Amino acid sequence: SSFLDMANYLKAKIWSHVSKNTEIDVVGHSMGGLDIRAAIIDQEEPLLNIKHCVTVGTPHEGTPWAKLIENFLFKKAKNLSDYLVKQGRSMGPKREPMQFINTLENHMKMLDRVQKLYCFSGTKDYVVFSSSRYKMAKIEKQYGNIIKPALIEGAAHSGIDSITQDPRAMENIFNAILDRPLRLER
């Protein structure tokens, strides 16, 4: 019913391909980044041995658009499955899943369980508001050795200018995973 539940599906998929002790890199776009975070902070059987965790356009603080999307898109799309509606709702900033994942305890679990966390977002990404980018910049100052937030100028969340289709974003994702310097415009 939320990205917290999707974490179990994600772990099962990963563990069907590698052992639980194998060091891995994970990359998630949008809610996929929340799925990854939930898998890493899981209390019963966390996803461990993460070398590089890369989130792309992930609403780490939730998205105020969740309510608008629920009221507009979810009501218009009659063939939208119940689980997709529930997943979308779970990303609201005041919803229980977002509140849970963003506790100080869970932030610390995340930082303790990954070697590097890269958070890429686009400057035209209205799903991931500037407040999240501001908070990521503050976190970078405190945990600069673990967290590397980066903005991709002009990239949007989805559509024609999607961050997932931007060659600069793709190059930086590969650079992050290969431990090479990021190439960002400043």
Q: Can you give the pLDDT at residue 91?
A: 84
pLDDT in tens, 106-151: 988 998 899 999 888 888 887 776 545 545 555 666 666 677 778 8
Phi/psi for 150 (5° steps) reads -150, 135
- The residues near 134 (Cβ < 8 Å, ≥ 6 apart) are none
Average pLDDT in the chain: 84
Q: Which tens digit of pLDDT belongs to each residue from 24-51?
A: 999 999 989 999 999 999 999 999 999 9
Asked if the model's pLDDT at residue 12 lies above 70, the reply is: yes
Structure token pair of residue 58: 């992930």
Of 44, 49, 39, 30, the closest CA to residue 10 belongs to 39
